[in-house]
Structure 1
Amino acid sequence: MPQFAVDGAELTYDDEGPRDPEGVPLVFIHGWTANRHRWDHQMEHFAAGHRVIRLDLRGHGDSTGIGARAIADLAGDVMALLDHLEVDRFIPIGHSMGGMIAQTIALTHPERVERMVLVNSISRMAYSRGRGLLMAASTRVPFKLFVAANIQRAFAPGHPRHEIKEYIRASAATPREVVMTLYDAMRAFDVLDRVGEIRVPTLMVHGYHDIQLPVHQMLRMAKGYPDAVIRIIDAGHELPVEKPKELTAALDWFLSGPPSRP
């Protein structure tokens, strides 16, 4: 597993697929308390014909480091890695918090973004009442119980329990300081009034049963985008692992070049 040192962190990443000088790499960015393996299905599929890069954000998965206080800090890590890999233009594909990172990159480095995909993500954090109460109670319950409750709610009803338990275990391995600091970072994230500046073709894929970031929040965001298409899939918040084939099919369609809107 290659690693890259940046600002006190060691970022673990994968860089696979053909190095086509005419191609545009895909950069997969995972969400809060997750890791790069959320994208295993997409990685295996797209690496056959694309250069595909994914990373564990600082403090997540196999990466070390803490200290990120804002979504912009994580976006800076991603850009530092891509500069290190000599990647110019690319397609960011972000899930949940990863979608916030992708939007931040699109706003700060528009010349580098070819097009963009947001999976179960939004432009302004607005928690549902249930999740707001859960987060308010986070300082009063054991950390592992807090993580377990969040991950359990992220999946649509009926998802296999043994898989959910494995994702809970992986998420609970994320340091508490990272989890809580980045919760505050997500709570502060708000680019809703700026999304009209993001003029690249953008695909928004969302789970119909997402109660973490409900569909109506995504639709509010989509109204501001000049060039966005939407796909709704019968899943919860963890679309990359709940319905990996359906998500990959949506990405395939979008990356093959759907008509751009004026």
Structure 2
Amino acid sequence: MTNHASVDLYVIDLPAESDDDDQLPVVVIHGLLGSADNWRSHLKVWQRSRRVIAVDLRNHGRSPHVEGMSYTAMSQDVLTTLDKLGVERAHVLGHSMGGKVAITLARMAPERCASLMVADIAPVAYQHGHDDVFAALERVSAGKPTNRREADALLAEHVDSRPVRLFLATNLVRNEQGEMEVRVGLDEIQRGYEAIIGKPDGDRAFDGPTLVLKGADSHYVADDMLPALREVLPRAKIVTLKNAGHWLHADQPEAFQQAVDTFIAAHS
């Protein structure tokens, strides 16, 4: 892989509750403005049968803020983290931006990836679509709210959707002055936004077992993207979850878990 200064990522590392030591771990990579914490309910389910590792990507959650949001850099962060944890091979699951990180990881280090699961993203470049979200978080930073109700009112100046505001609010923490502040590296994310909406890195296909989960109500994996998807992920099995949007793991958690469990069982 290309050399990059790796970031020491924050990790949730849960040991398997079962005694089956033969099961490979699952590695979970969140999407833009998400964090490992968003996945705790799923992690607890998967922990019953295997070790589960979820990371906070650079500039997200509890991980450090640094310049550079290329998919090569982010996937190298994850690989370096797995090295430190002694994980040589795993089932890798990524949602949205994290899906592109997972695809890059699989393309550049296929020997580390027992299987690949990509949730509601395709290996293509997307249009700008987060200006309102960035403006909302900047408004909170400037407004210095003292509680979550005040923070929600500030977010609502730019984002009408309450579910989206609740998701954004997972990035707020109380500082020593008692104010709600944004914990993500917002400036670094915005400076790296062109890379984020671009294609995943890597110049070869990943020919390992692959599951692509898409939300029926989401536009992120459209039919016209399927040729590009098949070129990068030739063995992809595409499963559509009904009554699910882009946050399909939150919209249909049981169906999402079942699809992941079935796929991993078939490739263990």
* Matches for 1:34-45 after TM superposition, within 5 Å: 34-45=34-45
Displacement of 1:8: 7.4
Aligned partner of 1:112: which letter?
A: R
* Aligned with 1:239 (options 226, 232, 248): 248
CA–CA distance in structure 2, aligned partners of residues 138 and 204 of structure 1? 26
Q: Does the CA-based 8 Å contact 2:213-2:240 persist in structure 1? A: yes
Q: Does the CA-based 8 Å contact 1:24-1:50 persist in structure 2? A: yes
Indicate the SS of the match to 1:188. coil
Q: 1:176 to 1:217 in 2, by over 3 A?
A: farther
Indicate the SS of the match to 2:54. strand
Tell me which residue corresponds to 2:197. Answer: 187
Greater mean deviation of Cα atoms: 27-36 or 8-17: 8-17
Indicate the SS of the match to 1:83. helix
Displacement of 1:191: 5.4
Aligned partner of 1:240: which letter?
A: H
Tell me which residue corresponds to 1:117. Answer: 117
TM superposition score normalised by structure 1: 0.78
Indicate the SS of the match to 1:98. helix
Displacement of 1:227: 1.3
Identity %: 26
Tell me which residue corresponds to 1:46. Answer: 46
Tell me which residue corresponds to 1:206. Answer: 214
Q: Does the CA-based 8 Å contact 2:216-2:244 persist in structure 1? A: yes
Tell me which residue corresponds to 1:158. Answer: none
List gaps (5 residues or longer) in structure 2.
141-153, 173-181
Give the count of matched residue pairs. 237
Greater mean deviation of Cα atoms: 17-26 or 94-103: 17-26
1:81 aligns with 2:90: no
Tell me which residue corresponds to 2:147. Answer: none
Displacement of 1:71: 1.0
List gaps (5 residues or longer) in structure 1.
1-5, 156-160
TM superposition score normalised by structure 2: 0.77
* Matches for 1:12-27 after TM superposition, within 5 Å: 12-18=10-16, 20-27=20-27
Displacement of 1:138: 8.2
Greater mean deviation of Cα atoms: 183-192 or 103-112: 183-192
Q: Does the CA-based 8 Å contact 2:13-2:51 persist in structure 1? A: yes
Tell me which residue corresponds to 1:216. Answer: 223
Q: Does the CA-based 8 Å contact 1:41-1:244 persist in structure 2? A: no
1:228 aligns with 2:226: no
Moved over 6 A (4+): none
Greater mean deviation of Cα atoms: 219-228 or 64-73: 219-228
- Structure with the greater alpha carbon radius of gyration: 2
Tell me which residue corresponds to 1:60. Answer: 60
Q: 1:11 to 1:22 in 2, by over 3 A?
A: same
Q: Does the CA-based 8 Å contact 1:240-1:247 persist in structure 2? A: yes
CA–CA distance in structure 1, aligned partners of residues 225 and 202 of structure 2? 10
CA RMSD of aligned residues (A): 3.1
* Matches for 1:159-178 after TM superposition, within 5 Å: 161=162, 163-171=163-171, 173=182, 174-178=184-188
Displacement of 1:178: 2.8
Displacement of 1:248: 0.5
CA–CA distance in structure 2, aligned partners of residues 97 and 217 of structure 1? 19
Q: 1:228 to 1:165 in 2, by over 3 A?
A: same
Displacement of 1:222: 3.6
* Aligned with 2:259 (options 241, 244, 250): 250
